[in-house]
Amino acid sequence: MIELVAAVCAVVAVYAALRAVLEKNTLRKLPFVNVMNFAVAGVIALILPHPLTLAAAIAYFVGATLEANAIASALASRFAPCSAPSDEVALARLTPCSVPSDEVTLARPAPEDES
C-alpha cells in the first residue's frame, strides 16, 4: 500500500513539475508548483516514518508556500497598474510604474548658475 501511495505522489509531482516547466507565465506556474509541493511533502513523510520526517515535511511545505507568496506579491507590485495612492507608497514598494513628476525631477543646472 505504501509503495502505491508513494507512486501516486511521485507521478503527480512529476506531472505538476512538467506542467510548471511548460507554462510560460510565472504567475500561472504557481498552481502547478503548489501541486508539486503537496506531492513532494507527501513523499517526504512516506519515505521515512519518523516524527522528525513529519517536521521536515511541514517545514518544507510552509517554506514553499512562503516562497510562492513572496514571488506572487513581488510580481504583483512590479507589474501593478499605476494606481498607487501616492508617490511615497509607490517608492516604498519600488514600483517602476510611478512616473516622476516635475517637482521631484532633478533639473540640470542652467549654464548661468554655474558661472
Partner 1 sequence: MILELAYIAAAAVISLILFIALDIFWKLPKEGGVSGADAVSREIVAAGGDKNGGWMLGNIICSPDASAGTLLAACGYWICGVPGGIAAAVLVFIGARICADKGWAGTSGALAAIVVIWALSTFAGFPPEAFIAGMVIAILLVQGISARHASRILGSIWRKI
Minimum separation from the CB atom of position 103 to partner 1 (A): 30
Residue 81 C-beta-side C-alpha neighbours within 13 Å: 1
Residues near partner 1 (CB under 8 A) = 1-2, 4-5, 8-9, 12, 15-16, 19, 25, 27-28, 30-32, 34-35, 38-39, 41-42, 45-46, 49-51, 53-55, 57-58, 61-62, 65-66, 68-73, 75-77
Burial bucket for residue 71 (CB in 10 Å: 0-12, 13-18, 19+): middle
CB of 18 vs partner 1, minimal distance in Å: 11
